[in-house]
Structure 1
Amino acid sequence: MRKLAIYVSGKQDCAGVSLRGGCADSAEAVYLQQALEQIIQQFRQRDLPCLWLDCRHLETLSWQGQRALLHVDNLARTAGICLFWCGLNALVGEQLRTSGLYSLLYVRTAKEYAGPLLLLEENLPATVQLVRRGENR
Structure 2
Amino acid sequence: MIAETICSAAAAAGLGIAAVTAYRKRFLAATRIAAYALVPLGLVLTGAVQWLADTAFSPTAWAGFGVLGLSWLLFMTTRGVERRTGGSRKERKAAAKAARAEAVAPGASQPALGRATPTARPASPKKAGGSGEDFSDIEAILKKHGI
Q: Is the strand fraction higher in 1 or 2? A: 1
Q: Is the helix fraction higher in 1 or 2? A: 2
| TM-score relative to the length of structure 2 | 0.18
Whose relative contact order is higher, 1 or 2, with alpha carbons under 8 Å and at least 6 apart?
A: 1
In terms of Rg, which structure is larger?
Answer: 2
| TM-score relative to the length of structure 1 | 0.19
